[in-house]
Amino acid sequence: MATFEPPVFNKPHIEHCFKRVRALFGGAFVIDTTKAKLVWEHKFYPQYYFPNSELPAQFLDDGSKLVPTEGVTKFDVVVGEKRAPGAIIVYGDLIGERAGLFKVKFDSMDMWYEEDERLFYHPKDPYKRVDVLQSSRHVRVEIDGIEMANTQKPRLLFETGLHVRTYIPQTDCKVGLLVPSDHHTECPYKGVANYYHVQTPNKLAENIVWWYQNPNLECASINGFLSFYDEHVDVWIDGEKQTRPKTVS
């Protein structure tokens, strides 16, 4: 299925974020501000930046170091006994549009919030949207020649810039071949995904199926449905075999 690409900005593109943004680390809110910026360092999604007036001085390690080749200063964030090395990057006066701003490495914090809603993986892109639509298309999935799913009740998830994903009721899948996995991924739009391996007579296909137990509200209708990595399985839609996507999303 085709994808719709979001607008591509000259990088870095900077916009004001109108949401209250908070970052929790070691039980303290290291960041709590309504002055956040959205900065596109690449085309895929933005990062949070903040004006230097919002630097949380009480949580910064004095042993910061200047990185001359990058023109930035990096700080460790310290709360009690907990430390996040190099978590804050302060941009110098010669860094163009980012001068006077700093960034907090997203995955260095324990939790992020937009207003009072938990945020996963990265800030949401205001130019993207996610739609989940009930469909009556006939979808079949095979792995290693074994039919794993056969349904006429799929739910299709359309996410700007990414491949359309098919979510299938568990009752239309061979759940007896699924093996629980400890792997998980996060998405700011959908939430936390759990994974399954698929055990066939010839091999164990690892982390090839995912599902959301408690998806975010905008994607609530995929709750409990299974999605197979189209990149690694054979899929037929209304009898037509699909070309495998070139990228994983």
Same domain, 64 and 138: no
Same domain, 115 and 143: no
Is the predicted pLDDT of residue 62 greater than 70, yes or no?
no
pLDDT digits (tens, 9 = 90+) for 25-34: 999 999 999 9
pLDDT digits (tens, 9 = 90+) for 114-165: 999 888 888 988 888 899 999 999 999 999 999 999 999 999 999 888 889 9
pLDDT of residue 72: 79
Whether 26 contacts 76, CB under 8 Å:
no
Same domain, 139 and 113: no
Range of the domain at 162: 130-241
Amino acid at 29: F
Domain boundary among 63, 96, 119: 119
Same domain, 166 and 110: no
Identify the residue with better confidence: 204 or 94: 204
pLDDT digits (tens, 9 = 90+) for 177-187: 999 999 999 89
Same domain, 115 and 136: no
CATH number of the domain within which 219 lies: 2.170.150.40
Whether 103 contacts 203, CB under 8 Å:
no
Domain boundary among 60, 84, 119: 119
Is the predicted pLDDT of residue 175 greater than 50, yes or no?
yes
Is the predicted pLDDT of residue 213 greater than 80, yes or no?
yes
The tokens describing 143, both together, are 């792995």
